[in-house]
Amino acid sequence: MAERLIKEILQAFKRTSFTGFLRELPVRVSGKDEFAGFLAQVDGIQQAGLTEMLKAGMREENAKALLLKISNYLIGKCQYQNRHEYLISSPYGLIVDPSNGCPLHCPGCLHNNLFRQKMSSDWPSGLLEPKIFQDYIEKYGPYSATILFYNWGEPLLNKHTPDFIRLAKGYLAETSLSSNLSTQFDAEALVLSGVDYMILSVDGATKETYEQYRQGGQFDLVVDNMRRLVAAKKKHNLLTPHLSWQFLMFEHNKHEIETVKRMADEIGVNEVRFAQPYDVIWDPELQPAKDIEAETYSVAAPGCGTDRIVPEISAFIPALFEERWVDRIVDVEPGLFTRRAGSTCKWLYTSLVMDARGRYLPCCYVPRKNSGFQYVFAENGAASGNDPYNSEYYRFGRKHFVWLSELRNEGGIAPVLAAGKSAPYCVACQDTVGKPLINEFHLRRYLQEFDNCKFLDDAVLDLITEW
Ligand code: SF4
Ligand code: SF4
């Protein structure tokens, strides 16, 4: 696109407001030139937004971080709606396993032998190395909203997990952890990392009931760890992490529900979520308590303070804020921005999953051996020059859906991979209508939470988060 046109768009922005131009953003962009125009508008929104947010009283570094993320979500929405194969937007939902291992063997989990045998899972053990995480967070952190530090492993097995969270908080991401707590860890370091939310997986009020599902877990250690987390929050007068005890309801433990509520009151966690278990067909001995409704019990006086950890914002944020989005497509082949339509899978446009071995997966499916499909979309990390989110498997996956719903009817040619390479599992997946684990709901909640000046009204939030 001509530089003159970009200047005109930026000039026009000077005469209107952040919200006004947000409303003017087109939904359809046909081809690279129109996409460049869209990006120039986003650049203008970023600049107009900064002026207005500073006037509204937001700290400059926070305003830049928020606007960089909003720009990314607007571009992501546009690229999703136009079914682009190549993305300059980054995922807003990150899922990272600090550890691939777990000392427990819950039925239905890949750490259970029966599951491993039946599913032939390809899940090598390992702990996430700091260098791999650092490259990852530098690349994707500036644009992320939510980072889940769990998927298929016990995150507290990795002693670097609090450091990973602290780094993520420097990009103003909302962070969550899910743990079985049946391990030794530094509770104080974890609380001081700034982690926002923790799921504590404890399905029993006694050792006997607990161990029926959490096989290999140590109940006394788990309860002790809950107490240590609460004590660390109190010691530092911290409101976070929000401690959510998750209790999966089975026939063998449902009589303990009231006892668990009393224990939660006494220990000082924030809440107990009584939930239905996941698929337990793996173990016929386990019977879900189907006659009981899921509920969340809020503890009236949780053990916590009032402060929050204020993170030090990464120096990358102001530098990235100065880069123009429109410049990021200058050298990209125009054909990659052809507008297409049809059904697709949102995971491919919103999320990125990385295991503790630095393998990039498009969603939460466990890779399988000898399946004939490719589950791992990139292995080369996010070190400079690498672009896992646009790996050949990612691009193939996005192209595949376009071909299925549109190009096939037009006589188009199905995408092909180099000889000897297996197609991504997406071609056989039945789950494309499923919502990504981190979805619009989380994005909206994140923006509301982060926008402490209440700059974004409901209508603007709709424009950003409704894809
Ligand atoms: S605690 Fe979680 S990761 Fe560990 S075996 Fe159980 S379900 Fe799997
Ligand atoms: S199509 Fe299926 S396998 Fe592919 S990313 Fe979506 S949910 Fe995962």
Tens digit of pLDDT at every position of the chain (467 positions): 556 666 676 666 555 678 877 888 888 899 999 999 999 999 989 988 999 999 989 999 999 999 999 999 999 999 999 999 999 999 999 999 999 999 999 988 999 988 888 888 999 999 999 999 999 999 999 999 999 999 999 999 999 999 999 999 999 999 999 999 999 999 999 999 999 999 999 999 999 999 999 999 999 999 999 999 999 999 999 999 999 999 999 999 999 999 999 999 999 999 999 999 976 666 778 889 989 999 999 999 999 999 999 999 999 999 999 999 999 999 999 999 999 888 899 999 999 999 999 999 999 999 999 889 999 999 977 776 789 999 999 999 999 998 887 777 777 777 778 888 899 999 999 876 668 999 999 999 999 999 888 889 999 999 999 99
**Is 102 within the bounds of a domain?**
no
Residue 113 within a domain: no
| Domains in the chain, number | 1
Is residue 460 in some structural domain? yes
How remote is the CA of residue 258 from the centroid of ligand 2, in Å? 40
Question: Which residues lie across from 121 on neighbouring strands?
Answer: 368
For the segment 125-155, what is each residue's pLDDT rounded down to a tens digit?
Answer: 999 999 999 999 999 999 999 999 999 999 9
Is 399 among the domain residues? yes
Tell me whether residue 329 is in a domain.
yes
User: Is the minimum distance from the CB of 365 to ligand 2 under 6 angstroms?
Assistant: yes
Cβ count within 10 A of residue 243:
25
Q: Parallel, antiparallel, or unpaired for β 351-354 and 93-96?
A: parallel
Cβ of 246 less than 6 Å from ligand 2: no
* 216 within a domain of the structure (yes/no): no
* Residue 397 Cα: closest atom of ligand 2: 4
Question: Distance, CA 363 to ligand 1 centroid (Å)?
Answer: 18
- Compute CA distances 402 → 91, 395, 416, 466, whole Å: 20, 11, 13, 21
Give a yes or no: residue 343 inside a domain. Answer: yes
Q: Does residue 88's CB lie within 6 angstroms of at least one atom of ligand 2?
A: no
Q: Quick check: CB of 450 below 6 Å from ligand 2?
A: no
pTM of the model: 0.94
| Nearest-5° Cα angle at 118, 116 to 122 | 45
Distance 458 CA to ligand 2 centre (A): 31
Rg, Å, the chain Cα set: 23
Q: Looking only at Cα atoms, what is the longest distance across the chain? A: 73
Residues 6+ apart with CB under 8 A from 365: 375, 425, 429
- 70 in a domain, yes or no? yes
Residue 177 alpha carbon to ligand 1 centre in Å: 13
**What residue numbers bound the domain in which 14 lies?**
2-91+312-465
